[in-house]
A and B are shown apart, each in its own frame.
Chain A
Amino acid sequence: MGSIFRKEIRSYLSSLIAYITIVVFLLAIGLFMWVYPDTNALDYGYASLETLFTMAPWVFIFLISALCMRTFAEERKARTIELLATHPVSEWQIILGKFFAAWVIVLFAILPTLLYFFTIDKLGSPPGNIDAGATWGSYLGLLFLGGCYVSIGLFASSLTDNQIVAFILSIFLCFFFFSAFVQISKFEFWSAQSGMVEWIGISYHYDSISRGVIDTRDLIYFASFMAVFLGFTKYQFSRRTW
């Protein structure tokens, strides 16, 4: 797994993909956080990072889909997948190597926003009354959300050798699993089970962990979500349909 992980990281760093992803993320979030009149934290009146945590999942849908679209599609197109598959690394090692590499890039996109945390903390009146528990919970939620998106992105990329197709498919799947279930749960005919339907979507658990209470059920949900999509990827990989 190490060799694949190292190769992926090197490839992200040497091809600008990583920098573009990180810079665009910070730029977009920065604009929402500090500039746009409707959402900026300065006019908001409360010492909170809420803008960051509401906007980030939406920005991530695009950025993580872009980050992951090449993972398998490119290897299929260049046939380098055959190189990987005929060396003594298992399919899981290949998939997990790629998964963790992309996740680490997501982590590096999130890390600089800690600066926002300290800024807001200092700007609060009196300084230091930010809800630290909720903020750390939100960070953890955002990291897991990123992991879920990465697993979706890998799966979408494993379906095709066309990166654009992988990108669009990944955007749809991320969007669907993040927000659709909240809407779907509003249909009349399962009003009794609406809670359960909502529970399937990522946003339910993201919101839950954002409150600062780290519930094992949410953690298990995130882990299972990633495992399921990585499992799909593994299945797709084993089929050798290219």
Chain B
Amino acid sequence: MSIRARGLSKKYGTQTAVNAIDFSINTGEVVGFLGPNGAGKSTTMRMLTCYLPPSSGDAEVQGLNVLNSPEKVKRLVGYLPEHNPLYPEMYVREYLHFVADLSGWKGDRKKRVEEIVDLTGLRREVNKRIQQLSKGYRQRVGLAQALIHDPQVLILDEPTSGLDPNQVVEIRKLITEIGKDKTVLLSTHIMQEVEAMCDRVVIIDRGNIVADSNLEELQKEYGGNAHFVRFKKQIDAQQLVEIEGVESTESVGKGEYRLRHSIPGDIEEKLFAWAVEHNNVLLEQRAEKQNLEQIFRTLTNGNNG
């Protein structure tokens, strides 16, 4: 067990940011920590990295309690906060040397910094001041910072936020590569990110965990029986509920409807029969694999995802 939270809570005054959450992450897993803005992702990560003390409950990293042995936990964890903490006036190499020094790197510091520079693709930028770098490269510097002491656990808070699509792909590739032999917990509010990088997903909403499973299970559980259908004539979406087994419907376009049902086998036939009966023409229908985006919206009540 690499990370484990038990009844972990954080209150700010009367406001509960994280409400007694339990989860655990196995060694070597890449887990996506998903939730709308303000759901408590950052707060949880800050507790795991010993930045904020929990209000109650506790957390362990590699079997070490964050309250009892913060120094040891800090040595084991590489952390990239949501707001990338850079000193704009420093040179890239200078910054990495400083962080290596700060993290108490015992070995050959020079060699280590050069290794990380190559690993994160910063070779060409290494002699620039951080303020001269583009956002994508700054993010790489942030990752390099988190990696410099070769931590066993990586905690990355929205590592790709604010990057352009190319940079996003590059950073994801980098994280996937690094994640091969480390435990990674990364937060995001973008679903594709989880699909691209993670083995498992923990969804949090308003301080509570609303889902914790691997992606396939999640899709099976929440998106199993979605069906898309298109009629020639527009109808009231509610009319479709009269078909036995249809649970809910929504209109998604002109004459296009999405319905959720509990009859996996013969929904097609029933819809066809229904169309004939109502003097309508069925133009198209298909079973839909509900994507993560929709699952996320369902689970977090359509909060600003």
Task: Please list the residues of chain A having a beta carbon within 8 angstroms of any beta carbon in chain B.
Answer: 2-4, 6-7, 10-11, 14-15, 78-90, 240
Flag whether B49 is at the interface (Cβ < 8 A): yes
For A7, the closest partner residue in chain B by CB is B98
The reply to whether B71 and A78 contact each other, CB–CB distance below 8 Å, is no
The reply to whether A79 and B52 contact each other, CB–CB distance below 8 Å, is no
The reply to whether B51 and A240 contact each other, CB–CB distance below 8 Å, is yes
Report the Cα distance A87→B78, complex, angstroms. 9
The reply to whether B102 and A87 contact each other, CB–CB distance below 8 Å, is yes
The reply to whether A84 and B102 contact each other, CB–CB distance below 8 Å, is yes
Query: Interface 1/0s, chain B 122-141, versus A by CB < 8 A?
Result: 00000000000000000000
CB contacts (< 8 Å) of B85 on chain A: these are 78-83
- 30 example contacts (A-B, Cβ-Cβ < 8 A) are as follows A3-B102, A6-B98, A7-B101, A7-B102, A11-B87, A11-B89, A11-B90, A14-B89, A78-B85, A80-B86, A82-B83, A83-B81, A83-B85, A83-B102, A83-B145, A85-B50, A85-B51, A86-B49, A86-B50, A86-B74, A86-B79, A87-B74, A87-B103, A88-B74, A88-B102, A88-B103, A88-B104, A90-B71, A240-B51, A240-B52
CB contacts (< 8 Å) of A79 on chain B: these are 81, 83, 85
The reply to whether B101 and A3 contact each other, CB–CB distance below 8 Å, is yes
* Residues from 34 to 60 in B contacting A, C-beta threshold 8 Å: 46, 49-52
**In angstroms, how far is the closest chain B Cβ from the Cβ of A28?**
27
CB contacts (< 8 Å) of B218 on chain A: these are none
* Residues from 67 to 120 in B contacting A, C-beta threshold 8 Å: 71-72, 74-75, 77, 79, 81, 83, 85-90, 94, 98-99, 101-104
The reply to whether A80 and B87 contact each other, CB–CB distance below 8 Å, is yes
Report the Cα distance A81→B85, complex, angstroms. 8
For A93, the closest partner residue in chain B by CB is B102
A-B contact count (CB 8 A): 62
**In angstroms, how far is the closest chain A Cβ from the Cβ of B168?**
22
CB contacts (< 8 Å) of B50 on chain A: these are 85-86
Report the Cα distance A80→B77, complex, angstroms. 17
Report the Cα distance A6→B87, complex, angstroms. 14
B49, B86, B102: which has the most chain A beta carbons within 10 Å?
B102
Query: Interface 1/0s, chain B 142-158, versus A by CB < 8 A?
Result: 00010000000000000
- Report which of B51, B89, B99, B104 forms a contact with A82, defined as CB distance below 8 A: B51
Report the Cα distance A11→B130, complex, angstroms. 14
For A2, the closest partner residue in chain B by CB is B101
CB contacts (< 8 Å) of B75 on chain A: these are 88
B46, B51, B79, B86: which has the most chain A beta carbons within 10 Å?
B51
Given A79-B81, A80-B85, residue A3 in contact with residue B74 (CB < 8 A): no
Report the Cα distance A2→B81, complex, angstroms. 24
CB contacts (< 8 Å) of B88 on chain A: these are 78
**In angstroms, how far is the closest chain A Cβ from the Cβ of B53?**
8
CB contacts (< 8 Å) of B79 on chain A: these are 86
Known: A14-B89, A87-B99, A240-B52. 13 other contacts (CB 8 A): A3-B102, A4-B102, A7-B102, A15-B89, A78-B85, A78-B88, A80-B86, A80-B87, A82-B81, A83-B102, A86-B50, A86-B74, A88-B75
CB contacts (< 8 Å) of A11 on chain B: these are 87, 89-90
The reply to whether B51 and A78 contact each other, CB–CB distance below 8 Å, is no
Report the Cα distance A10→B91, complex, angstroms. 12
Report the Cα distance A111→B158, complex, angstroms. 49
The reply to whether A78 and B87 contact each other, CB–CB distance below 8 Å, is yes
The reply to whether A78 and B86 contact each other, CB–CB distance below 8 Å, is yes
Report the Cα distance A89→B102, complex, angstroms. 7
**In angstroms, how far is the closest chain B Cβ from the Cβ of A94?**
10
**In angstroms, how far is the closest chain B Cβ from the Cβ of A237?**
12
CB contacts (< 8 Å) of B90 on chain A: these are 11
Report the Cα distance A235→B85, complex, angstroms. 23
A6, A11, A78, A87: which has the most chain B beta carbons within 10 Å?
A87
Q: Name the 4 nearest CB pairs between A and B, nearest first.
A: A83-B85, A3-B101, A79-B83, A80-B85
Report the Cα distance A40→B83, complex, angstroms. 53
CB contacts (< 8 Å) of B74 on chain A: these are 86-88
CB contacts (< 8 Å) of B81 on chain A: these are 79, 82-83, 86
**In angstroms, how far is the closest chain A Cβ from the Cβ of B104?**
5
A3, A14, A81: which has the most chain B beta carbons within 10 Å?
A3
**In angstroms, how far is the closest chain B Cβ from the Cβ of A163?**
15
**In angstroms, how far is the closest chain B Cβ from the Cβ of A11?**
7
Report the Cα distance A58→B191, complex, angstroms. 60
Report the Cα distance A82→B86, complex, angstroms. 10
Report the Cα distance A81→B89, complex, angstroms. 16
Report the Cα distance A118→B133, complex, angstroms. 50
The reply to whether B51 and A86 contact each other, CB–CB distance below 8 Å, is yes
Report the Cα distance A11→B99, complex, angstroms. 14
